[in-house]
Structure 1
Amino acid sequence: METLPTGISVLDREFGGGLPSGSVVVLKADPASQSELIVDRFSRPRECRYLTTVRSAEAVEASLTLDGAAESGEAAEGGDAGTVVEETDPKNPIDDVLAAAADLPERATLVVDSVEPLEATDRSRYGPFLTDLRGRIADAGGIAVIHAFKSESGENRVVTEQVADVVFDLRTTVTGTEIVNRLIVPKFRGGAALEEPLKLKLTDTVSVDTSRDIA
Structure 2
Amino acid sequence: MPNRLPTGITVLDRQLDGGVPAGSIVLLNADPASQSELFLYELSAARGTLYLTTVRSEHAVRDALDRTTARTGKPTIRDIGADAPLDHANRLVGALPEESNLIIDTLDPLESSDSARYRNFLNSVQTHMANTGGLAVLHGLTGRSVSENRDMTEHMADVVFDLETEVRGSEIVNRLAVPKFRGGRAPGETIKLKLEETVAVDTSRDIA
TM-score by length of 1: 0.91
Is 2:70–2:197's contact at 8 Å kept on the other side of the alignment? no
Q: Which residue of 2 aligns with 1:73?
A: none
RMSD (Å), alpha carbons: 1.6
Q: Which residue of 2 aligns with 1:109?
A: 101
- Residue 207 (structure 1) aligned with residue 200 (structure 2): yes
Distance 1:163 1:40 in 2: 24
- Residue 189 (structure 1) aligned with residue 182 (structure 2): yes
Is 1:50–1:111's contact at 8 Å kept on the other side of the alignment? yes
Distance 1:201 1:16 in 2: 21
- Residue 119 (structure 1) aligned with residue 120 (structure 2): no
Which letter maps to 2:29?
A: K
Distance 1:20 1:106 in 2: 14
In the superposition, relative to structure 1, how do residues 69 and 37 fare at CA in structure 2: closer, same or farther (>3 Å)?
Answer: closer
Q: Among the aligned pairs, what percent are the same residue?
A: 50
Which letter maps to 1:3?
A: R
Residues 122-158 of structure 1: CA deviation (Å, up to 9, x unaligned): 1111111101111011111100000000123121000
Distance 1:89 1:206 in 2: 27
Q: Which residue of 2 aligns with 1:46?
A: 47
Distance 1:67 1:8 in 2: 15
Distance 1:98 1:113 in 2: 15
Aligned length: 206
- Residue 159 (structure 1) aligned with residue 160 (structure 2): no
Is 1:40–1:65's contact at 8 Å kept on the other side of the alignment? no
Q: How does 1:66-105 map to 2 (within 5 A)?
A: 70=71, 82-105=74-97
Distance 2:11 2:181 in 1: 16
Is 2:24–2:157's contact at 8 Å kept on the other side of the alignment? yes
Task: Please state how far the C-alpha of 1:84 moved relative to its aligned partner.
Answer: 0.8
Is 2:29–2:161's contact at 8 Å kept on the other side of the alignment? yes
Task: Please state how far the C-alpha of 1:91 moved relative to its aligned partner.
Answer: 2.4
Distance 1:213 1:65 in 2: 33
Distance 1:4 1:48 in 2: 13
Distance 2:54 2:125 in 1: 16
Which structure 1 residue ranges, 5 or more long, are not aligned?
71-75
